[in-house]
Amino acid sequence: MNLNDTDFQLFAVPATFAQDRAVLDARWKELQREAHPDRFAAQGAAAQRVAMQWSVRINEAYQRLKDPIRRASYLCELNGAPLNAENNTAMPGAFLMQQMEWREALDDARDIAAVELLQADVETTRARALSSLDWLIDEKGDYPGAVQQVRALMFIERFGQDVETKIDQLGQ
């Protein structure tokens, strides 16, 4: 293991969008056992500090690999297409219109049934976007196209959280 390895190399999985969560979970546990600072107690404080660095590195990689949006963003970055979400907020007009319609529908929703209907639409759109990412990254190798899709998914995720909040408010 090398601290400079990619997350995929560290976890010994292919550098693809499609990942088996059970494989990632099992590999994370295995790596954490190997790097746990308590295993290095007899070797002194310096060895424990290195083990702690490894533990942090393993956890960061795991968090990135298990989350589809973070994984896709990482793959794009590794392949020369950084997200630049802070600077690049341009989105296609049709997507922005959908976002506005969703916002209006959420603002107008007065009961849980209406919000749950909106939630189902958001979940369907999210599933399609994730499927599109799989195709763009693993099939086409279109990382600039994947960047656009990742940014759209970030909007969808944020809106999905707003929907959950509204459901919680209406349920009280």
Q: CA angle, 92 as apex, 89 and 96 as ends, to 5°?
A: 80
The answer to whether 20 and 27 are in contact (CB under 8 A) is no
The answer to whether 2 and 123 are in contact (CB under 8 A) is no
Tokens coding 63: 């968090």
The answer to whether 71 and 4 are in contact (CB under 8 A) is no
Per-residue confidence (pLDDT) for residue 87, from 0 to 100:
77
The answer to whether 43 and 51 are in contact (CB under 8 A) is no
| Model confidence pLDDT, tens digit, residues 48-62 | 788 888 999 999 999
**Low pLDDT (below 70) residues in the chain:** none
Per-residue confidence (pLDDT) for residue 54, from 0 to 100:
92
State the burial class of residue 44 (Cβ atoms within 10 Å of its Cβ: 0-12, 13-18, 19+).
exposed
Per-residue confidence (pLDDT) for residue 40, from 0 to 100:
76
Task: Give the span between the Cα atoms of 119 and 133, in whole angstroms.
Answer: 21
Per-residue confidence (pLDDT) for residue 70, from 0 to 100:
97
The answer to whether 167 and 120 are in contact (CB under 8 A) is no
Per-residue confidence (pLDDT) for residue 44, from 0 to 100:
78
Per-residue confidence (pLDDT) for residue 165, from 0 to 100:
96
